[in-house]
Chains A and B, each alone.
Chain A
Amino acid sequence: MMNEERRAFIKKSGLGVLACLGAASGLIPKFSLEKTILPAWDEKPVPGKIRWGMLIDTRKCLEGCQKCVTQCHHVHNVPDFNNRKEEVKWIWKSSYNKVFPTSSQQFQSEKIAGRSYLALCNHCAESPCTRACPTEATFKRWDGIVAMDYHRCIGCRFCMAACPYGSRSFNWQDPRTAIKDPSLAYPTREQGVVEKCNFCSDRLVKGLLPACVEACPQQVMTFGDLNDPKSDIRRLLENNETMQRKPELGTKPSVFYII
């Protein structure tokens, strides 16, 4: 009898301690096991205040290096079917005439036309994909990121038809069978939904840089707030000649290139 009461007391006080820890980690971010920035606690997000962007200095990019691609695809559990028809890709390397088909092609120097260029979702300020989506499964976040809700997507592939950059991939079959080295950092997707680069919104919330930026041995990519005139990316945009992909379409890409 005595023992049972004691056990119940220990049980209850243990739960109480756990609850205290839980509450503390919510109130004091330092207490939490997983580092998280809690915008809801410190500051309410203001739509349009931040606009995340990326500048790619293609001069520094090493030919044949795939580190950013491999790291991104590993972290986000991007399947590899080794089959062009069903290819899923978030970031990839392609030739000058494919990435910049509307830019100057004639008599272009071999140095420029012969290099590979990184392509990824442009997180356009005027995104045609979010306009086309019938369920807002793809939508513009308060910080300029074009995000996906894989649980709302009906798989109509309108966003794929709307994207003028070929940045969107569809899961033609169950992607989980084609993930060789699964990562716990990001959920896998289901068959029948569209996916694409998320500008590492999953890492930004933890105060980390995007996986591709971090993986690059050459610091090719600069990531930052395009709305902050003092940010590194804005400083580089100020001091270099840069370009965007297909600027004539008015999509206002947030990814810039130094050629």
Chain B
Amino acid sequence: MIEKALKGNRNYWIWISFLLLVIASGVSAYSKQRWFGLTVTGMGRDVSWGLYIAQFTFLVGVAASAVMVVLPYYIHNYKAFGKIVIIGEFLAVSATLMCLLFILADMGRPDRVLNVMLYPSPHSMVFWDVMVLNGYFIINLVSGWTVLGAERKGIPPPAWVKPVIYLSIPWAVSIHTVTAFLYAGLPGRHLWLTAVLAPRFLASAFAAGTSLLILLTLILKKTTGFDAGSEAREKLAILATYAGLTNFFLIGTEFFTAFYSNIPSHMHSLQYLFFGLEGHSHLVPWLWFSLMTGLCSVVVLLVPALRASSKWLPAACTGLVISIWIDKGVGLILGGFVPSPLEEIVEYSPTLIEITITLGIWAIGALLLTLLLKVAVAVKTQE
């Protein structure tokens, strides 16, 4: 089946070459990081996680959102998702791979990564996260590939794959819950120490992930002629809308608890992110842009006429993805470190090397997704 990814038109190969180029520069930047250490990044003793962990957090959400097509299709037999479900699964596979690569890129000693399995420590959330992410990667790859393979041969998928698909549904929820628990259980990091972190993660994931999926189907329609169907997109847009609304509602509750209780430690991070703290306001424009873009996108998606429009729908989806990427990928992780445990404010900006490595990992994910979708589209359109 994989041979289908080796046949393509000129644009396909230009796109593949472009991704390979970005990957190559990422690898070269990474070799610098391996040699000189994480000193080449913008991270330091006060802001000890940065772009890598932020991307990881965002992408776990993208991966988890596959459940939004798998659940309606396989549990509720919702036929309109018949063509989109494989796209969701393969998006989950690529996003999970990127998550794992971002964890690896963030490690000081990636050569010792197997220590996580050699000395399993159930008291550590990282251990569980590595387990569930690897599991999710395999589950989605196996179920997606098997169903697609059966379709190519024109036979029904084997019976054993059904339980695997069902398993992927709670598993999707688990990956993002465990990811939230990485942060939500740490004493002294007040932005993260909140019970709504996991629900908020899930809500923002289902908003950004489904929006990304809608955009993917539009790109596929344009580049390959394969259309997952406007009914599927419409239904996904509704899911993204309400997930987005839930996300903004949960952000609002965070503000209420922090500012009504008036407890300084609970207010500090939010003050830093949205208003600036003691003259440090590096991230303020980002966070307001995120909030405004996100709210506008949700408003657009709420109007049925705009939701059905071929111009407004992609615009609103792009807005929602960018909004949540900033909220989770910039604000949440960096905000957790400001102020530091000693009430100091240190601001972080990524370095060029860090950005190059990040783009490289995104390109690896995009490459895998391109190859998988190429196969999927070839099978679906019986090329």
Q: Which residues of A contact B (CB under 8 A)?
A: 84-88, 94, 97-99, 101-102, 119, 128, 131-137, 152-158, 160-166, 169-174, 190-194, 246, 249-251
Chain B residues whose C-beta falls within 8 Å of the C-beta of A246 in the assembled complex: 188
Known: A85-B44, A156-B106, A174-B37. A132 touches B125 (CB 8 A): yes
A34–B178 CA distance with the chains assembled, in angstroms = 48
Asked whether B112 lies within 8 Å of A153 as measured between CB atoms, the reply is: yes
B219 at the interface (CB under 8 A from A): no
Asked whether A169 lies within 8 Å of B45 as measured between CB atoms, the reply is: yes
Known: A191-B37, A246-B188. A170 touches B45 (CB 8 A): yes
Cβ-neighbour of B119 out of A85, A128, A152, A156 (below 8 A): A152
**Residue-by-residue, is B35-58 near A (CB-CB < 8 Å gives 1, otherwise 0)?**
011110001111011000000000
Q: Is the interface of A mostly helix, strand, loop or mixed?
A: loop
Asked whether A135 lies within 8 Å of B340 as measured between CB atoms, the reply is: no
Which residue of B has the minimal Cβ distance to A248?
Answer: B187
8 nearest interchain CB pairs? A155-B108, A164-B188, A192-B108, A85-B44, A134-B126, A173-B39, A173-B37, A172-B39
Known: A154-B108, A156-B106, A191-B37. A132 touches B124 (CB 8 A): yes
Q: A156-B106, A192-B107 are in contact. List 19 more A-B contacts (CB 8 A).
A: A85-B44, A85-B46, A94-B342, A97-B343, A98-B343, A101-B342, A135-B121, A153-B109, A155-B107, A156-B126, A158-B126, A161-B186, A161-B189, A164-B186, A166-B46, A170-B38, A170-B48, A192-B109, A250-B187
Chain A residues whose C-beta falls within 8 Å of the C-beta of B21 in the assembled complex: none
Q: Is the interface of B mostly helix, strand, loop or mixed?
A: loop
Asked whether A153 lies within 8 Å of B108 as measured between CB atoms, the reply is: yes
Chain B residues whose C-beta falls within 8 Å of the C-beta of A164 in the assembled complex: 186-189, 341
Which residue of A has the minimal Cβ distance to B112?
Answer: A154
Which residue of A has the minimal Cβ distance to B336?
Answer: A161
A152–B107 CA distance with the chains assembled, in angstroms = 13
Cβ-neighbour of A152 out of B37, B103, B112, B340 (below 8 A): B112
A219 to chain B, nearest CB (A): 26
B294 to chain A, nearest CB (A): 26
B101 to chain A, nearest CB (A): 14
Asked whether A166 lies within 8 Å of B342 as measured between CB atoms, the reply is: yes
Chain B residues whose C-beta falls within 8 Å of the C-beta of A160 in the assembled complex: 45, 48
Which residue of A has the minimal Cβ distance to B189?
Answer: A161
Asked whether A165 lies within 8 Å of B124 as measured between CB atoms, the reply is: no
Asked whether A98 lies within 8 Å of B108 as measured between CB atoms, the reply is: no
Chain B residues whose C-beta falls within 8 Å of the C-beta of A87 in the assembled complex: 44-45
**Residue-by-residue, is B337-372 near A (CB-CB < 8 Å gives 1, otherwise 0)?**
100111110100000000000000000000000000
Known: A156-B107, A161-B336, A191-B108. A135 touches B115 (CB 8 A): yes
A163–B341 CA distance with the chains assembled, in angstroms = 8
Chain A residues whose C-beta falls within 8 Å of the C-beta of B340 in the assembled complex: 166
A133–B182 CA distance with the chains assembled, in angstroms = 11
Chain A residues whose C-beta falls within 8 Å of the C-beta of B188 in the assembled complex: 128, 163-165, 246, 249
Chain B residues whose C-beta falls within 8 Å of the C-beta of A172 in the assembled complex: 37-39, 43-44
Chain B residues whose C-beta falls within 8 Å of the C-beta of A155 in the assembled complex: 38, 107-109, 112
Asked whether A134 lies within 8 Å of B187 as measured between CB atoms, the reply is: no
Chain A residues whose C-beta falls within 8 Å of the C-beta of B106 in the assembled complex: 156-157
A190–B112 CA distance with the chains assembled, in angstroms = 13
Q: Can you list 14 A-B pairs with a CB-CB distance of less than 8 A? A: A84-B346, A98-B344, A128-B186, A128-B187, A132-B125, A134-B115, A153-B108, A154-B109, A155-B109, A157-B48, A161-B48, A166-B342, A173-B36, A193-B108
Within 8 A of A (CB), among B85-138: 103, 106-110, 112-113, 115-116, 118-119, 121, 123-127, 130
Which residue of B has the minimal Cβ distance to A92?
Answer: B342
Chain B residues whose C-beta falls within 8 Å of the C-beta of A119 in the assembled complex: 342
Chain B residues whose C-beta falls within 8 Å of the C-beta of A153 in the assembled complex: 108-109, 112
Which residue of A has the minimal Cβ distance to B186?
Answer: A162
Chain B residues whose C-beta falls within 8 Å of the C-beta of A84 in the assembled complex: 44-46, 346
Asked whether A192 lies within 8 Å of B49 as measured between CB atoms, the reply is: no
B17 at the interface (CB under 8 A from A): no
Asked whether B186 lies within 8 Å of A102 as measured between CB atoms, the reply is: no
Known: A163-B341, A170-B48. A133 touches B121 (CB 8 A): yes
Asked whether A134 lies within 8 Å of B124 as measured between CB atoms, the reply is: yes
A246–B343 CA distance with the chains assembled, in angstroms = 12
A165 to chain B, nearest CB (A): 6
B309 at the interface (CB under 8 A from A): no
**Residue-by-residue, is B19-42 near A (CB-CB < 8 Å gives 1, otherwise 0)?**
000000000000000001111000
B253 at the interface (CB under 8 A from A): no
A110 to chain B, nearest CB (A): 19
A250–B193 CA distance with the chains assembled, in angstroms = 14
Chain A residues whose C-beta falls within 8 Å of the C-beta of B103 in the assembled complex: 156
B224 at the interface (CB under 8 A from A): no
A157–B126 CA distance with the chains assembled, in angstroms = 11
Which residue of B has the minimal Cβ distance to A97?
Answer: B343
Asked whether B124 lies within 8 Å of A171 as measured between CB atoms, the reply is: no
Asked whether A193 lies within 8 Å of B109 as measured between CB atoms, the reply is: yes
Known: A86-B44, A164-B187. A135 touches B116 (CB 8 A): yes
**Residue-by-residue, is B153-192 near A (CB-CB < 8 Å gives 1, otherwise 0)?**
0000000000000000000000000000011001111000
B336 to chain A, nearest CB (A): 7
Known: A166-B342, A169-B45. A132 touches B39 (CB 8 A): no
